[in-house]
Structure 1
Amino acid sequence: MTQIIKHHLNDAILMAYAAGSLPEAFNLMVASHLSLCDTCRAKAETYEALGGEVLEQMQANAAIPLDAVSLDATLALIAGGPVDTVPPMAHSCGVLPRPLRDYVGGDLNDVRWKPIGMGVKQAILPTSRDASARLLLIPAGTAMPDHGHHGTEMTMVLKGAFQDDDAYFARGDVEIAGSDLHHTPVADIHEDCICLAVADAPLQFDRLIPKIAQRFLRI
């Protein structure tokens, strides 16, 4: 059944994904969202087609020489991870989208959770160092510490839901937070919330205890 998704990826992120210019962790986020979202998947396919057309026109007009550095960069992108450019729609009844299952090595029961306080658990996923990716399990009704952002953080709900100010995020919804957003997400009281979160910079905490824990928890 198609997910009813209200919070989508923006065009800039989808174009960067189609162009192959996102960090691995962000590629994982986009691929996971596309496996659940018809709307963003169609946009990503359009941007891919446009990019292919531009390349064809360039090749038709002139030969483009490639040096050894260009070849190495291309091979590095190919070997960068198991994420497909535009993954097929997920037909499994599991909680984790297929791109995430490739990183976890299975579905939700195979996640190796580690407690980080207040009943919250996380599992850091192996990605390149330019951005981090983690799964979060937030108990129902639990508020995450109030925080801001030094860079960009994207959070997608995989199970349950969370409330952030006036916005409500359920399965498949993505919240994109930049340096202008300071917030306190709260898991819905009816069910534990499981999310995929990716970030290209550490979070910015105001309270002392989260600041101390941040160094050890890699957040």
Structure 2
Amino acid sequence: MSNEIKHHLTDDLLMAYSAGTLPEAFDLMVATHLSLCDHCRARAESFDAVGGCVLQEQDAFVSMSDSSLAATMALIAQGAPALKDARPSCSILPAPLQDYVGGDVKAIKWKPVGMGVKQAILPTTNEATARLLFIPAGAAVPDHSHNGIELTMVLQGAFSDELDHFARGDVEIADQDVYHTPTADVSSDCICLAVTDAPLKFSKLMPRLFQPFLRI
């Protein structure tokens, strides 16, 4: 599947993921994309290797508390954690998302946002917001720009906007300079993972009125 993915994550995002400096919602986006994309996963592993070399060359030592050994031995005594049920091989949601949802698509608790579009906000820290979006075939998200960064990854179907066409595994990176109207392909419903670090900027009145209630 990785050879079908045309829109990848940037090196800055992958390096920040490797360094552990991204908000939880962006971490979830990167982990979800890496689970489908061999190309970006290889790049992320190279950044992990570089970070490991940097740490190895440092002379700094980390002090350990007197209880560290006892705590480690207690964890060992508990034994290996119970294995999770095997995930379905044909699932729409990659493994990182299934952990947040508690299953595949049927487990998502959708809430309508208008025009047939539905969303499910995922539980993450407050620095950024992660949500699943369901866009019916041929339907569009209201035209908008951005106060910050919006990452949108396709999980099912595809959508197009003023910039390009995005299918499963593709990630669109939109910032303050991007004004677009994402529209699902007419061939199938579209499900996406969308992550934002600031509210969107809608041009029309109705989306702006409902924006605080929908946390968009």
For 1:33, give the aligned amino acid. Answer: H
Q: Does residue 1:203 correspond to 2:200, yes or no?
A: yes
User: Structure 2 CA distance, aligned partners of 1:149 and 1:185?
Assistant: 13
Q: Secondary structure at the match of 2:31?
A: helix
Structure 1 position 3, deviation (Å): 5.5
| Residue equivalent to 2:149 | 152
For 2:57, give the aligned amino acid. Answer: Q
RMSD: 1.7
Q: Does residue 1:101 correspond to 2:98, yes or no?
A: yes
Contact 2:147 2:176 in 1 (8 A): yes
- Structure 2 gap ranges (5+): 66-86
Structure 1 position 165, deviation (Å): 1.7
| Residue equivalent to 1:35 | 35
Q: Secondary structure at the match of 2:152?
A: strand
- With structure 1 as the length reference, what TM-score do the two structures score? 0.85
Contact 2:25 2:129 in 1 (8 A): yes
Structure (1 or 2) with the larger CA radius of gyration: 2
Relative to structure 1, the CA distance from residue 94 to residue 43 in structure 2 (aligned partners, 3 Å threshold; closer, same or farther) is same
Contact 1:28 1:100 in 2 (8 A): yes
Measured against aligned partners, the alpha-carbon deviations of 1:84-120 in whole angstroms (never above 9, x if no partner) come to xxxxxx9821000000000000000110100010000
Relative to structure 1, the CA distance from residue 66 to residue 21 in structure 2 (aligned partners, 3 Å threshold; closer, same or farther) is farther
User: Mapping of 1:1-219 within 5 angstroms?
Assistant: 2=2, 4-58=4-58, 62-64=59-61, 92-219=89-216
- Structure 1 gap ranges (5+): 69-89
Identity of aligned residues (%): 63
Measured against aligned partners, the alpha-carbon deviations of 1:16-68 in whole angstroms (never above 9, x if no partner) come to 0000000000000000000000000000000000000000001xxx2245799
- What number of residue pairs does the alignment pair up? 195
User: Structure 2 CA distance, aligned partners of 1:96 and 1:131?
Assistant: 20
Relative to structure 1, the CA distance from residue 106 to residue 185 in structure 2 (aligned partners, 3 Å threshold; closer, same or farther) is same
Measured against aligned partners, the alpha-carbon deviations of 1:116-171 in whole angstroms (never above 9, x if no partner) come to 10000000000000000000000011111110100000000000000012511000
User: Structure 1 CA distance, aligned partners of 2:39 and 2:111?
Assistant: 34
Contact 2:2 2:39 in 1 (8 A): no
- Deviant stretches of 4+, over 2 Å: 62-68
- With structure 2 as the length reference, what TM-score do the two structures score? 0.87
